[in-house]
Each structure stands twice: as structure tokens, then as C-alpha cells.
Amino acid sequence: MLGQLVPCGGGDPIPLLKPKLLVGRRSQCDIALRFPNVSSHHCELEFKDGYWFVRDLNSRNGIKVNGVRCDQKWLLPGDILSIARHKYEIQYTPQSDAPPPEVEEDPFSRSLLEKAGLERRRPSRPSRPSRSAPSEPPRPRPAPRTVNLDEMSEEERLAWEFLQQSEQRRDNEP
């Protein structure tokens, strides 16, 4: 056994049996926490360089170490790991005399709202092409139709006039 997570509110300790553990709500996870506020794949615990390291997996409710929200962090014996709102004390004996390596986080990798815990991190997605730089040339507009307004009902005439005004406004935009 490489250590254990002891629930702060009481309960059975969770043994840390493998050097890499997936924590989440699903039964396939190495550590299954069956709480609705725990994501299906919430975080990953990894024992490397003699210390436990935790990494959030873009979970909805995040992780905290000693009350501070983070994406990833080295865990020292006695640290309190919060997974969503569930707190656990990590207990283990470090397997190295050297301190854990420093985690270098890019200061621009998260917004200030994310750092403050007011917004959750969104998984990276392919960006959409912007309207100002279309990826393909604009399609030519069809030639204007001749419309006999006398043959239209009042509702059709009002709708047609509205569409004409909308097209004119769009054409006059910079």
C-alpha cells in the first residue's frame, strides 16, 4: 500500500494501492466516489518521485488542496484533498529525501475568474472560424426577384417589406 485517503468527516480509509489512480463517480474508476457532485472522471492521483501528485481532469466542481483550488499539485503527508466538496487527509510516507519537484503553471493558462473559483475550466475545443475571416468565399446573392405586391395578402406584403429592410440594413453594415 502506497498510502491512504482518510475521510475528514469519518468513514473507512481508502487505500492507495497503485501508483496511478483514477478518481471519479464511475464504477470503472480506481477510486469510485458515488456522489452526484463528483464528476465521472474527476481527478488523477499519481505516485511519482516518491510523492503523491493530484491532477484535476476538467471536473465540474474541481479539486482543492488545503482549501486552495488548483489544477494540479504535489501532496504532502497530512494535506487535505477536497474532491468536489468531499475532504480527505492523505496519509503516506514519502519515498524520497528530496522535496517534491516544483509545479510550473503557466500564469496565462487560466482566467482570473477560474483562479478565483467563479468559473469552471472548459475543455479545449476546436475554435470556430470567425465571421470577419471566413474560411470560404461568400456565396453570391441571387438576383432580385420582381414581386407583384398587388397579388399578396397584407401579411405577406408586410413580411416581404420587413425582409427587404433587413437586407438593406445588412448591406449597409461596415
- Block means of pLDDT (10 residues each) for the chain, length 174 residues? 95 96 96 96 96 94 95 95 97 90 67 67 51 62 68 82 79 68
- 35, 43, 156 from 40: Cα distances, Å: 10, 9, 53
Query: Which residue, among 108, 22, 104, has the nearest Cα to 59 in the 3D structure?
Result: 22
State the residue for C-alpha cell 456522489. Answer: 35
Look at phi and psi of residue 62 and say left if phi exceeds 0, alpha if psi is from -120 to 50, else beta: left
pLDDT of residue 107: 65
pLDDT of residue 127: 47
Whether the Cβ atoms of residue 38 and residue 62 lie closer than 8 Å to each other: no
**Other residues' Cβ atoms within 10 Å of the Cβ of residue 38:** 23
pLDDT of residue 161: 83
Helix (H, G, I), strand (E, B) or coil at 61: coil
Contacts by 161-167, CB closer than 8 A, 24 or more apart? none
Helix (H, G, I), strand (E, B) or coil at 163: helix
* 93-105 confidence digits (pLDDT tens): 999 888 887 766 6
pLDDT of residue 131: 54
Residue type, 174: P
State the residue for C-alpha cell 468559473. Answer: 119
